Structure 1
Amino acid sequence: MAEEENVKVAVWVRPMNKRELGRKAKCVVSMKGNITTVTNPDDSADVKSFTYDYSYWSFDGCKEEPNGYFAKQSPNSKYADQNTVYNDLGGGVLANAWAGYNSTLFAYGQTGSGKSWSVIGYGSNKGKK
């Protein structure tokens, strides 16, 4: 029997890119547990909340280790590192594929939003150390 048999939906908040920082953009997304909240930048009373299986915060709260891996800055940080995402999502998909089951991992988002980073990571920040 497959280890993972259900659909999981996750959202990931990445750090701002150089363009966003240059425009002095502000973060309008916040997360608490599996709830993601988006605030209208023009009307702070206009707030929408969405519940997912996982809400991953990687906007800030990390430190770069000597080997290049981005880890939580402190034990209380809500930063989601690559191992967290892999253990929650990727490991089950991979286990099913190796067991001979059809498995799909679907990543959706705008160009440059971090889909490849979320799915496979790079260098020291691969999903599994």
Structure 2
Amino acid sequence: MKIPSAVKLHKKSAVLELHYEDGSDFQLRCELLRVYSPSAEVRGHGSGQEVLQTGKKNVTITAIQAVGNYALQLTFDDGHDTGLFSWDYLYDLGLNQEKFWQEYVGRLHAAGASRDPEVQVLRVDL
């Protein structure tokens, strides 16, 4: 298990920074954390039940709470607070954030959805 030696929230840039003893250092966008929340609301209750999160471009974290010695509970300004981010999951997100980001943007595009909460994308088939 990779436990960070320091966790810093940069509210202005909406980034959660994680430092590890092995020299690893990750800067995770609040938006990425929100759309990949390990909650049932996002992941569903089984394979294929994932719910695409849209309009989360400006989401920020308002509170961080340690859960035992194994996870963080993040509270987002859109009210979401049910996902427990295990240390291993946070490390995996940091290590593979570019892959996760591209998958997220690709799913939004395929669904005709937007990251921006002010934009509604409509498809018109002629």
Above 0.5 in TM-score? no
Larger radius of gyration: 1
- TM-score (normalizing by structure 2): 0.28
- TM-score (normalizing by structure 1): 0.28
